Structure 1
């Protein structure tokens, strides 16, 4: 793994204040998204790593603002944060929050990211207001309005220049699976907060209501619901696995590992079964480590192949 100071050098981040700003985001991301952070550090080219970390930190901070407190507080926090973000990206303020300083520098280096930041912030109101999904169409709208733009902030950093539409379509499939998985893992917590992510129609199709889930009164039907939900996730992850064929070779091990990490989480969730109504499953740390080790081996093979090609040319 390239050292962090050298990673910043490779990304062209030489200003000491900016280096401190990116380093602060690195600490935060490593704390709350350890597996994903490790994958970024190990598998993406060093010049991209600080920018992915800055984008991830921005989304995490935004989500936290939107998700905490009563609705008026969340909407006010979103409006204030959107204003701060837009000002930071449009102008060059003398004093910037470290997170926004890093984000500003990243969008200057990768201007294609800006459109997704704008769309994501606009979609934040839907995230703040939703309490449940009545139908599958409601869930699909949520993904297209909020979850996909959030993911594309990062994914835009590796979007292939010749097939951007196909790549974004594949990203939508991936984030459909990932968002369903988030809602499945967080089912116990979401039920207690009154915001379950499984559509009411899906519950009804399995003879369930939200009250049944809260009372844990129908374990066989809950198991059937989990199997159905898992099948949808597995289908979309299988399709999303084709994403790596679209991107440049140095980015493929990361995308492959990202999909496989979701599959590992899904296996843990399905094994947890109806206990999901009580608690989230444990993170599959051993399987995640094996996925990352295999991906590192693949990346090393790609590097050796490129070196051999250069020697022969």
Structure 2
């Protein structure tokens, strides 16, 4: 299967093919919902998406190394090294990096003309995660999410293709990336607290009488206190609004890409529904979408994807 995808994508070099294979393995292992949605893309689109995911995961792995006893200085140094190596390959056009993940993402960036500044903005937000543990207001959180979520939407746009000028579709792509991340923030409140982080605006929580200490109490006592539930309900509603803002952008994509993006939106929004169904008891269990429900959503998307591919007669235009 992966071989046919790489053939369709025009990836011929053996080393580069192996690099893309590594990215696909990473995506399948760690990004199950995202990976499922990518199966609805045309084969020639998939390797590039796997490469972008692989790079994002590489940065995440550096951040998660704190759990293994690595210091902030060590992590900062590793993120700086990752940034420098990417810049050297992508911008200075020096010989390719021996890291297969970097080799694949550099190739993708060149093929689709994805600007270095988007990767730089992403890594800037990753560096924030090393020292920033709380966000005083939504504006501060938005600054973080620009690099950690919105630029992912910008990176995806040239791969997905648009029927309108790319800059017209960009705000919707950014909103979708933000909606996905806000969903993760709600789902992972308990897990993030265990890592010393809170990705909810402190001033909005304070309206309900909630602060970090109360969230920690919920974490330690494995229950959602009434004030916390009220705050989570408000955050849940705000996230639903971001999904509504993002949805019109699907119609701006090339028809062959719409089933994938719509399926991803549906799958992630079902996580929100699951959080609500649990009555926001997110400190006792992780809100997930079961395999049968994922299969139903994916099956509908697959039908739309096949129909779109039959109608599509265009070929990828490599740079």
Q: Which residue number in structure 1 is paired with residue 227 of structure 2?
A: 221
1:254-291 Cα offsets, whole Å, 9 max, x none, are 11111111111111122233421234223433222111
Q: Which residue number in structure 2 is paired with residue 63 of structure 1?
A: 60
Matches within 5 A, 1:1-313: 3-41=1-39, 43-69=40-66, 70-89=71-90, 90-93=92-95, 96-160=98-162, 162-216=164-218, 219-305=225-311
Give the match's secondary structure for 2:287: coil
Higher relative contact order structure (alpha carbons within 8 Å, sequence separation ≥ 6): 2
Distance 2:263 2:278 in 1: 23
1:62-81 Cα offsets, whole Å, 9 max, x none, are 12213432322221111111
Q: Which residue number in structure 1 is paired with residue 317 of structure 2?
A: none
**Closer, same or farther in 2 for the Cα pair 1:304/1:153, shift >3 Å?**
closer
Q: Matched residue pairs, number?
A: 304
Distance 1:302 1:106 in 2: 24
1:195-234 Cα offsets, whole Å, 9 max, x none, are 1111111211111122112223862222212211111111
**What's the CA shift for 1:161?**
6.4
Distance 2:47 2:134 in 1: 35
Distance 1:156 1:94 in 2: 23
> Is the 1:127–1:146 Cα contact (8 Å) retained in structure 2?
no
**What's the CA shift for 1:306?**
5.4
**Closer, same or farther in 2 for the Cα pair 1:270/1:73, shift >3 Å?**
farther
> Is the 1:25–1:54 Cα contact (8 Å) retained in structure 2?
yes
> Is the 2:192–2:198 Cα contact (8 Å) retained in structure 1?
yes
Give the match's secondary structure for 1:14: coil
> Is the 2:224–2:281 Cα contact (8 Å) retained in structure 1?
no
Higher helix proportion: 1
**What's the CA shift for 1:159?**
4.4
Moved over 6 A (4+): none
**How high is the TM-score relative to the length of structure 1?**
0.89
